[in-house]
Structure 1
Amino acid sequence: MEKSILKATEREELRKNKVKKLRAQGLIPCVIYGNNKENTLIYVKSNEYDKSVRSEFLKNTIIKLDIEGKKPHSEFVVTYDLQRNVVSRDITHIDFLRISEDKDVKLKVPVHFNGIAPGTKKGGVLIKKMDYVLVQCLPSKLPATIEIDLTSLEVGEFISVKDIPQEDYTILSHPDNSIVRVAEPRKAVEETSTEESEEEAEGEGEEGATEQAEGSSEEASS
């Protein structure tokens, strides 16, 4: 998988007011952990991070961090977790996970749908059930996306995790999980209504969890 290079600067633990000043300058506080090494506190430029990963759906991009500080060095990492401001959606904190070229990683890989399902031309409704799958493999074999071909999907048919060819990686998501299906119009309306209700409930919970996570992160840095 293609690697990106990102400049970073070592930092010390910061109090809450200094964290806010850092963010106001377009800098994101981060932590690097994993591989049985001590955590490293750094910050990166927000715009440079965005260029490195291209989009939120490519968080599994392997990044080479060139770290400036008392002992300049480089580390290979992936983005393990992002925290965002609930209102602005700006990134407020990044957790980077160290990786080794000879050790497997477990990461969420986004699903990308290709083509048009024939069933949608016969009145069926395409329902996407999964946005990503959990993959285990060596970093060099990590796919940017999992490609799903829709061109043979008829009304009433679906594609499950077990239908995905697994070559250089292992998919850890449950094999019976449905990724996408073409439902009859009436069933699609019922299913979509149920999913929207569930997403609204989950969204309310996620906002609260995000606020708490951001607060916890800032307190940890105080």
Structure 2
Amino acid sequence: MAGRKENNVGDQSLAVEVRTDTGKGVARKLRAVGRIPAVLYGHGNASVSLSIQAQDLDTLLKTSHAGLNTLIDLEGDGAVAGKVVLIKELQRHSVAGTLSHADFFEIDATAKIHVSVPIKLEGTPEGVKLGGVLEHMMREIDLLCLPNAIPDSLEVDVSGMNQDESLHVSDLTLPEGVETGVDEALPIVHVATKKIEEEVEVVAEEDEAAKEGDAEAAPAAEESKED
């Protein structure tokens, strides 16, 4: 089952079983008893087919503050014992939304890895209080760091932003040992001015008036032809 670890490298533990049978028929049988197929790969090793309790993984994801960036200690026999992994991909049923498959990637605690981390905005911009509109343009960012240094998220204080101001990747404060290869000039958040919104509304009203004028002119033209 899933649970928080005190001494291991991972943040959570997950019991898995190695399986030798593969195919759709096997997957259906696993799901019928509450388990799902999974695969472990990484470091150039041959992939290992696994099965896990779907409820265990679901609970792990719901209780972990790090989401898909949770470091997981695999508990099992043979090739998986003591492996520390990240969830590389999850598949869910298209209608029910239940877990149907998982891919795990083995990590090396001493090697930096690329992860995608959410960007969370804090505060209400001054420009929004004056009628501006907040545009959150970058919601996740790719980071490079050691596994034990993965931040849950990056917080950006937008409370001091005025209208027509932006914050960019270069404005982020990254934790020690964490870096990003993302273009520093890319915008993260922007406060659009009220003036721009009003101009858009005026243009829209003018376009609508022009369409109505064209519609009224058309019958008049038809009557002129008949005369």
* Common fold by TM > 0.5: yes
1:60 is aligned to 69
Asked if the contact 1:29–1:93 (Cα under 8 Å) also holds between the matched residues in 2, the reply is: yes
- Residue 173 of structure 1 aligns with an amino acid whose one-letter code is V
In structure 2, relative to structure 1, the CA distance for the partners of 1:71 and 1:125 (3 Å cut) is closer
Q: For 1:46, which of 33, 38, 54 is the aligned residue?
A: 54
CA distance in 2: counterparts of 1:8 and 1:36, whole angstroms: 21
In structure 2, relative to structure 1, the CA distance for the partners of 1:180 and 1:23 (3 Å cut) is farther
Give the TM-score taking structure 2 as reference length: 0.74
2:213 is aligned to none
1:168 is aligned to 177
2:183 is aligned with 1:178: no
- Larger CA Rg, structure 1 vs 2: 2
CA distance in 2: counterparts of 1:155 and 1:149, whole angstroms: 15
Give the TM-score taking structure 1 as reference length: 0.76
2:90 is aligned with 1:82: yes
Asked if the contact 1:4–1:53 (Cα under 8 Å) also holds between the matched residues in 2, the reply is: no
- Residue 165 of structure 1 aligns with an amino acid whose one-letter code is T
* Alpha-carbon distance, 1:170 to partner: 0.7
Asked if the contact 1:10–1:40 (Cα under 8 Å) also holds between the matched residues in 2, the reply is: yes
In structure 2, relative to structure 1, the CA distance for the partners of 1:71 and 1:33 (3 Å cut) is closer
2:157 is aligned with 1:149: yes
| Identity percentage of aligned residues | 28
In structure 2, relative to structure 1, the CA distance for the partners of 1:9 and 1:155 (3 Å cut) is same
Gaps of 5+ in 2: 1-8, 201-227
- Residue 182 of structure 2 aligns with an amino acid whose one-letter code is S
In structure 2, relative to structure 1, the CA distance for the partners of 1:87 and 1:130 (3 Å cut) is farther
* Secondary structure of 1:170's aligned partner: coil
CA-atom RMSD, angstroms? 2.4
CA distance in 2: counterparts of 1:132 and 1:161, whole angstroms: 11
CA distance in 2: counterparts of 1:95 and 1:40, whole angstroms: 10
CA distance in 2: counterparts of 1:37 and 1:188, whole angstroms: 55
* Alpha-carbon distance, 1:56 to partner: 9.7
In structure 2, relative to structure 1, the CA distance for the partners of 1:32 and 1:186 (3 Å cut) is farther
Count matched residues: 189
1:126 is aligned to 134
Deviations 1:158-189 (CA, angstroms, capped at 9, x unpaired): 22112112332111222222222111257569
Gaps of 5+ in 1: 191-222
* Alpha-carbon distance, 1:57 to partner: 6.8
In structure 2, relative to structure 1, the CA distance for the partners of 1:130 and 1:89 (3 Å cut) is farther
